Amino acid sequence: MSARDDLLRRFQGLAARRGRVRLLNAYRGIPVAHPAVVLSVHQGYVALEAHPHQAACMTLEGKTYLLGDIFPQALQARVVSVDMLRSQAMLAEFSRAQASIGKRLTVRVQPVEPLDAQIYDGEHRIACKLADISSSGVGLTALNTHVYGAVQFNLGQQVYLDVKLPSSQTILRLQAKITNLVVSADSLLQRVGMTIAPEGTAQDILREYIAARQAETLEELQRVHESLCRKQGAG
């Protein structure tokens, strides 16, 4: 029996008892993970009944990830179609998900607008924009136009990040380590990824901000779902 046939057999077993798998998508950095009921398997296509938010995300992303004890590893699948009004989706083309799939489970919120921030390397202050943040990492864009010339960042470099969150009256100073760098062709724009380890008050402020943005983002996703339903219903 081929791996594909074995997988479809497992899905058929779930469909026979209306068993569930867990689907994983993301919306603006927020993981969207809900159980979905396996409805049927036909000619390599698997029909599922999903959470409304999951249905919206699958429509937007065109793919989803499947997690479950019946699979040897997490799977990725192409979303063939989504019936928004019934929250049902058809999946096909199952393949092994990348090992980095676990990162999608981390809540990583995006500000309403990119926030002004500064990277301080002990000598220079480099203005940047905070694109997203989690309890353990940040994503930034930095314009490398420092008055003293281009500042060279290095992977593993320890720096400080100063940022004022909308929910705080004070500037947070976070110890950070550069873990990812992507430099534009003209070397002026750098995308910088960092790990952070906030403590004490900074940790509390960051936790409150992330929780608030997560709630706002899920409210936005609900509006997206309602819009997709109206669009499909009128089609």
Q: Is 29 within a domain? A: yes
CATH number at residue 141: 2.40.10.220
As a residue count, the chain comes to 235
Looking at every residue in the chain, the average pLDDT score rounds to 90
pLDDT band for position 144 (cuts 50, 70, 90): low
Residues of the domain holding 29: 3-105
- Whether residue 147 is predicted with pLDDT greater than 50 in this model: the reply is no
Q: Are residues 44 and 9 in the same domain?
A: yes
Q: Is 182 within a domain? A: yes
The string of DSSP codes covering 122-172 is SS-EEEEEEEEE-SSEEEEEEE---TTSPPPP-TT-EEEEEE--TT-SS-E
Of 84, 105, 126, the domain-final residue? 105
> How many distinct structural domains can be found in the chain?
2
Q: What is the pTM of this model?
A: 0.86
SS3 content of the chain, % helix, strand, coil (to 5): 30, 40, 30
Q: Are residues 140 and 78 in the same domain?
A: no
How far apart are the two ends of the chain, measured CA to CA in Å?
42
